[in-house]
């Protein structure tokens, strides 16, 4: 298990958008942690023991106790370390909105991207999902305050969406996805630019180039062959 | 305790809808219920949930909240007492959220595939997956709350509310998918949990009859085969 003087360990995988969320939350809050990258093709004992049900990353291990599922991990991080960089809104209705759009990102956006990579979804469907996210910005984010849902600072929903700032250009570069233009989705475009410039996100997210190489190498897997 | 107007848009047999009923009823919150015709969705539903047009939707003081677990979380924040559903301890809260999420990802998914299976191969795989998922729940109950009836210990918590609606569908899974729930000798924790859930008055209030649900499962199946 984690070395004795480390309270917090993250079982990670650098290319996973779910893993990036957990990493980003830890960095935003300045939480010292041990990062243990995992080989998903040859799963380690610590991964299988700490997430026996799903056997997936990310897993956060805090004082020996494992927490799995990226949204649950980020909720946990926010609850245990509330002082720095609070992520979930205080208002119950806004919290519900953040959770709704997180679920949308997983169920609709990511699902669409995965199907696109397999040749099972059209670019138009992806653009429609981006337009819906643009609508979320209009509803939840104050443009005058800043590019994020949280205004000038990242909030829970920003952390959940941030990985797509590299995943979308990655898939565009390798598989011909046409991202939504600045004209089509200005707030979304500004959000992704702001993520790429954000100091914590620069550490939590891989470069687009690295992701492109990864996608090329794994393209057969994604095409479902 | 009145905290504004509360309205639930749902469908009588929906497991997701039942979660919302259970949460409100355990807390004694009064609400208006509107049964939706899923083939002729109300204007109110389409406006409240424009992205998915699905039930359940909770409308609180005119504002809609969608997705059952998000609704239950919201209910627990607005009406924390009586009967707080999410534990105060962050780790225990994370564990409760995990098993609620497991219900969606593994139990509901397998059950849905079981009912809609058009080949024997599909049916068999779905049945095995459902069995595995319920076995995990039996194990989890033994680990998280040993010698206690619920995930929440002596009373139902967020995970219990998320998973309880499956109970009234077991008969349907059996009738339509041939899924037979292993007995209490094999899964003592799950059976103890089922008995305990069924004994809660607030749960009995909205739970539909298992026979009616089984009939409805048959209807879903016929439709699935018909369109295959």
For B198-211, the pLDDT digits (tens) are 999 999 999 999 99
The arithmetic mean of pLDDT across residues A153-159, rounded, is: 98
Cβ neighbours around B131 below 10 Å, total: 16
Give B226's pLDDT tier (boundaries 50, 70, 90).
confident
Tell me the whole-structure pTM to 2 decimals: 0.96
**A100/B70 CB distance under 8 A:** yes
Tell me if the domain spanning A92-222 has CATH number 3.90.1150.10.
no
**A67/B94 CB distance under 8 A:** yes
CATH classification number, B6-78, choose in 2.60.40.10, 3.90.170.10, 3.40.30.10, 3.40.309.10: 3.40.30.10
- Sequence ranges of chain A with CATH classification 1.20.1050.10: 92-222
pLDDT at B38 over 50: yes
B88-112 confidence digits (pLDDT tens)? 999 999 999 999 999 999 999 999 9
pLDDT at A4: 38
The arithmetic mean of pLDDT across residues B165-191, rounded, is: 97
Beta carbons within 8 Å of A132's beta carbon, 6+ residues apart: A104, A108, B51
Contact (Cβ atoms closer than 8 angstroms) between residue B34 and residue B219? no
Beta carbons within 8 Å of B40's beta carbon, 6+ residues apart: none
**Angle formed by the axes of helices B90-102 and B68-78, nearest 10°:** 150
Bridge partners, residue B37, by sequence? B40
pLDDT at A2 over 50: no
Q: Tell me if ipTM is over 0.85.
A: yes
pLDDT at A100: 98
Rg (CA), chain B: 17
Tell me if the domain spanning A8-80 has CATH number 3.30.360.10.
no
pLDDT at A108 over 80: yes
The length of chain A is 225
All residues of chain A having their beta carbon less than 8 Å from the beta carbon of residue B90 are: 76, 79-80
pLDDT at B2: 59
Q: Is A82 at the interface with chain B, CB within 8 A? A: no
pLDDT at A5: 42
Residue of B162, B157, B152, B110 whose CA lies nearest to B134: B110
Cα(B153)–Cα(B38) distance, integer angstroms: 37
Give B228's pLDDT tier (boundaries 50, 70, 90).
low
Cα(A105)–Cα(A132) distance, integer angstroms: 10
Q: B90-226: which CATH topology?
A: Glutathione S-transferase Yfyf (Class Pi); Chain A, domain 2 (1.20.1050)
A102-106, A146-150, B46-50, B223-227: which has the minimum mean pLDDT? B223-227
Q: Is A52 at the interface with chain B, CB within 8 A? A: no
- Sequence ranges of chain A with CATH classification 3.40.30.10: 8-80
């Amino acid at each position: 298990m984690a070395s004795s003087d480390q309270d917090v360990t993250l079982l990670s995988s650098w290319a996973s958008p779910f893993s990036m969320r957990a990493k980003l939350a830890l960095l935003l809050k300045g939480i010292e942690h041990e990062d243990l990258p995992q080989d998903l093709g040859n799963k380690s004992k610590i991964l299988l023991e700490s997430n026996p049900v799903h056997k997936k990353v990310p897993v956060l291990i805090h004082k020996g106790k494992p927490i799995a599922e990226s949204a649950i991990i980020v909720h946990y991080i926010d609850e245990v370390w509330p002082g720095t960089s609070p992520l979930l809104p205080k208002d119950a209705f806004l919290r519900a909105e953040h959770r709704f759009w997180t679920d949308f990102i997983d169920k609709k956006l990511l699902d669409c991207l995965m199907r696109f990579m397999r040749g099972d979804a059209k670019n138009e469907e992806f653009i429609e999902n981006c337009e819906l996210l643009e609508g979320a910005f209009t509803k939840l984010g104050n443009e005058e305050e800043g590019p994020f849902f949280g205004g000038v600072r990242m909030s829970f929903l920003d952390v959940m969406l941030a990985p797509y700032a590299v995943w979308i250009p990655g898939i565009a570069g390798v598989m011909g996805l046409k991202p939504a233009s600045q004209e089509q989705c200005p707030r979304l475009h500004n959000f992704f630019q702001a993520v790429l410039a954000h100091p914590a996100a620069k550490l939590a997210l891989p470069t687009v180039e690295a992701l492109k190489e990864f996608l090329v190498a794994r393209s057969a897997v994604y095409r479902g062959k | 305790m009145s905290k504004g107007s509360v309205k639930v848009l749902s469908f009588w047999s929906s497991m997701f809808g039942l979660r919302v009923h259970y949460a409100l009823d355990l807390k004694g919150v009064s609400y208006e219920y509107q049964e939706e015709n899923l083939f002729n969705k109300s204007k109110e539903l389409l406006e409240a949930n424009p992205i998915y047009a699905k039930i359940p939707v909770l409308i609180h003081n005119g504002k809609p909240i969608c997705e059952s677990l998000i609704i239950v979380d919201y209910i627990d924040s607005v009406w924390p007492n009586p009967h707080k559903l999410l534990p105060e301890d962050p780790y225990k809260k994370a564990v409760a959220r995990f098993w609620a999420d497991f219900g969606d990802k593994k139990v509901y998914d397998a059950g849905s595939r079981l009912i809609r299976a058009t080949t024997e191969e599909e049916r068999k795989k779905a049945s095995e997956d459902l069995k595995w998922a319920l076995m995990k729940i039996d194990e989890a109950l033994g680990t998280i709350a040993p010698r206690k009836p619920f995930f929440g210990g002596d009373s139902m918590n967020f995970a219990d509310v998320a998973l309880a609606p499956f109970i009234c569908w077991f008969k349907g899974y059996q009738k339509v998918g041939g899924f037979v729930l292993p007995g209490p000798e094999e899964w003592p924790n799950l059976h103890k949990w089922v008995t305990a859930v069924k004994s809660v008055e607030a749960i009995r209030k909205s739970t539909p009859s298992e026979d009616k649900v089984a009939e409805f499962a048959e209807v879903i199946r016929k439709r699935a085969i018909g369109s295959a």
